[in-house]
Amino acid sequence: MDKVDHEDTKAERTEEYWLKSLRKTVERVLPIPHYRERFGAIGITQAEDVQTLEDFQRLPLTTKEDLRKNYPFGLFAEPMDNIVRLHASSGTTGKPTVVGYTRQDILLWAKIVARGLERAGVTKKDIVQIAYGYGLFTGGMGLHYGCEELGAVVVPISGGNTARQLMLMRDFGTTVLACTPSYALFLAESLEESGIAREELKLKIGIFGAEPWTEGMREQIEARLGIKAFDIYGLSETMGPGVALECQAHQGLHIDEHFYPEILDPEGNPLPVGERGELVITSLDKEGFPALRYRTKDLTTLHYGMCPCGEVGWTMERVSARVDDMLIIRGVNVFPSQVEEAILSLGGFEPHYLLVVYRVGNLDQLEVQVEVNETSFFDEVRELEGRQERLKQRIEEILGISIRIRLVEPKSIPRSEGKAVRVIDKRQ
Ligand SMILES: [Zn+2]
């Protein structure tokens, strides 16, 4: 880490500072049998045994599987008397992963989200429409408490009911929209058909997260809604939304100082700052469910230093992909976001697409379905074919495998009110 001279509040954190905070989390989780056993196996019996960051990086990683094995409350560090809230993330199979919050955790979370929103330019004068789902999912409640902490007006509308979203957006004078990027895109598309003119809306900022999205998608959303879009990051196992959020310099997402990030290679070994790999998060002040070296399965790159906005600390690049979203097609790793990048780099297509994987004999096939936009839909067949061929080449260049393209009519791919479905895998 390069030393940076700056005023105290924006000062470089020393290794000793991080260690002191990390030891607090080690101390909190040590009484939990799961951790005590695993730490004991490598000779760590007390927090003081972690003397360097290298010692810390020898501690076992925590995975979603560990949470499932200890379902529901086995990794909580506080008695249930001190827990005031539960959240859970749904898995595609088996039990959900459950996290618990103390009163103090809820307050801290609200402060963290409020601080992140401030970086994006949200103030107490704003009216924030929260179109993330409310419930066991952390998206809705996380933003909700953060906005209230900031003093902004909260519209807790939750996801769905798109016509009503747009009506209230106009009538209430909503200035900030928080939801998934795919729902923001759907809202933009619905606005064009709703009879409500963009000029009737006061919307200026979007806080979008909970699914990977590309720079191309950001440009689309910004242009269609006429707003500035900010990327928010977080998952329930590490706290919820707000672990990181972009500032107005758009040079990556500021990781809140209550978390310590690492990047690992696929075998779980630490990678140097600046290299792309899996993000691992340790919470430094969480009580109910402290996250210790939690494997997020999100791929990104870390940086440390001063952002153009003047703040010093960790930043992460936008999450380019999730390990869980990775498809293996004929032995090649394929991420839906790579296809999105290719589609949005060429004109004539809508940012709505679907990857369909199937098998012919023993051979995997990938078909990419993409919507053509209204204008090119009426183009000459020859022109459409040329467009299709260019897209096929672009995607094949990026993925390194041959694919099929199917152009589909505008608005024929199902829209999402939450996290978009990008893949249909018919191989199982
Ligand atoms: Zn910044």
| CA 145–ligand 1 middle distance (angstroms) | 23
Give the burial class of 173: count Cβ atoms within 10 A of its Cβ; 0-12 exposed, 13-18 middle, 19 or more buried: middle
Instruction: Note whether 143 and 233 are within 8 A (CB).
Output: no
For residue 193, pLDDT beyond 50: yes
Average pLDDT over all residues of the chain: 94
Average pLDDT over residues 316-321: 92
Average pLDDT over residues 208-216: 93
Token pair, residue 359, equals: 């098998």
Among 247, 226, 14, residue whose Cα is nearest residue 116: 247
* The pLDDT value given to residue 313: 94
Average pLDDT over residues 204-221: 95
- Where is 33: in which H helix or E strand? helix 33-41
For residue 93, pLDDT beyond 90: no
| CA 4–ligand 1 middle distance (angstroms) | 15
For residue 194, pLDDT beyond 60: yes
* The pLDDT value given to residue 23: 97
pLDDT band at 89 (very low <50, low <70, confident <90, very high): confident
CA–CA dist 59, 79 (Å, integer): 24
For residue 6, pLDDT beyond 60: no
| CA 314–ligand 1 middle distance (angstroms) | 10
∠ Cα 196 197 199 (to 5°): 135
| CA 119–ligand 1 middle distance (angstroms) | 7
Instruction: Note whether 234 and 252 are within 8 A (CB).
Output: no
* The pLDDT value given to residue 108: 98
pLDDT digits (tens, 9 = 90+) for 261-302: 999 999 999 999 999 999 999 999 999 999 999 999 999 999
pLDDT digits (tens, 9 = 90+) for 323-345: 888 999 999 999 999 999 999 99
* The pLDDT value given to residue 141: 97
| CA 182–ligand 1 middle distance (angstroms) | 25
Average pLDDT over residues 2-9: 41
| CA 307–ligand 1 middle distance (angstroms) | 5
For residue 14, pLDDT beyond 70: yes
CA 203, 206, 211, 216 dihedral sign is positive
* The pLDDT value given to residue 8: 44
pLDDT band at 84 (very low <50, low <70, confident <90, very high): very high
Q: Is the overall model pTM greater than 0.85, yes or no?
A: yes
* The pLDDT value given to residue 7: 43
Instruction: Note whether 220 and 156 are within 8 A (CB).
Output: no
| CA 308–ligand 1 middle distance (angstroms) | 6
Pick the range with the lowest mean pLDDT from 54-63, 139-148, 231-240, 314-323: 314-323
State the Rg of the chain over Cα: 23
Tell me phi and psi for residue 181, to 5 degrees. Answer: -60, -35
For residue 376, pLDDT beyond 90: no
pLDDT digits (tens, 9 = 90+) for 127-184: 999 999 999 999 999 999 999 999 999 999 999 999 999 999 999 999 999 999 999 9
| CA 111–ligand 1 middle distance (angstroms) | 18
* The pLDDT value given to residue 364: 95
**Bridge partners of 154?**
128
Average pLDDT over residues 406-419: 92
| CA 16–ligand 1 middle distance (angstroms) | 24
* The pLDDT value given to residue 253: 98
| CA 250–ligand 1 middle distance (angstroms) | 7
Among 148, 66, 64, 69, residue whose Cα is nearest residue 106: 148
| CA 338–ligand 1 middle distance (angstroms) | 26
For residue 2, pLDDT beyond 70: no
CA–CA dist 387, 407 (Å, integer): 10
| CA 320–ligand 1 middle distance (angstroms) | 19
* The pLDDT value given to residue 5: 40
CA–CA dist 120, 206 (Å, integer): 9
| CA 175–ligand 1 middle distance (angstroms) | 22
